[in-house]
Homo-oligomer: A and B are copies of this chain.
Amino acid sequence: MDRRARASQKRQRLTAAAARVLHEQGIERTTLADIAREADVPVGNVYYYFKTKDELVQAALAEHRAHLDELTRALDRLPDPRDRLKGLIEAWVAQRETAARHGCPTGTLAVELDKRADGTLDAEAGAVIRRLLDWTAAQFRELGRPAPEDLALTLVSAYQGMSLLTNALRDPDIMNREGTRLLRWLDSLEPGGG
């Protein structure tokens, strides 16, 4: 492995560490030293890859978006859009233990970023959520449902809401119950129906 590869690997390690630690501890509670330690990179060296802490937050957001893309790409292989949406919900429920401990990564980052005066990163968190909304709307559209954007809003809202409650009440079972309801709801939708 040459210099170039080693460097980019270090960058990747930092990004992954940032995504993980920022999700667990939040932005304000996480120090650069925390991330550096987790990535096994000397503190001073972090600045070679990321000029500011904000850039690391940005990288973490990008990482979460990449995870989302990975998931939707996999679901896209399913022929039936309804199955894709059900797969999405099942993926959410599968993460219930993590959600109980730390909430939805993107959702909680968005909440924290919103509290800042500077709204640069704020928008980026919104963009990840919008991406999820768009993909979801596309599935409803393909299903022939009217107002697919509204349906997407309802589904993603439900996800963020149940993640927050699961987290706040430290009760992963909330995601089981709400997940089950959402799956039944999807099943009840008739293609193109009202």
User: A residues within 8 Å of B by Cβ?
Assistant: 24-26, 28-29, 102-103, 107-108, 110-112, 114-116, 122, 125-126, 129-130, 150, 153-154, 156-162, 164-165, 167-170, 174, 177-178, 181
- In the bound complex, residues from chain B placing their C-beta under 8 Å from that of A130 are 169
Complex contacts, A111 vs chain B, CB 8 Å: 103, 107-108, 111-112, 164, 167-168
Given A153-B174, A174-B153, A181-B154; A125-B168 close (CB under 8 Å):
yes
Asked whether, in the complex, the Cβ of B165 is within 8 Å of the Cβ of A156, the reply is yes
Residues of B near A150 (CB, < 8 A) are: 177, 181
Q: How far is the CA of A24 from the CA of B25 in the complex (A)?
A: 20
Nearest Cβ in chain B — how far from A103, in angstroms?
Answer: 6
13 contacts between A and B (CB under 8 A): A28-B115, A29-B116, A111-B112, A129-B169, A154-B158, A154-B178, A156-B161, A157-B161, A157-B178, A158-B158, A159-B161, A160-B160, A160-B161
CB distance from A120 to the nearest CB of B (A): 13
Complex-state Cα separation, A157 to B112, whole angstroms: 19
Q: Are B164 and A160 in contact (CB under 8 A)?
A: yes
Also in contact, A170 and B112, with CB within 8 A (given A29-B28, A158-B157, A161-B162):
no
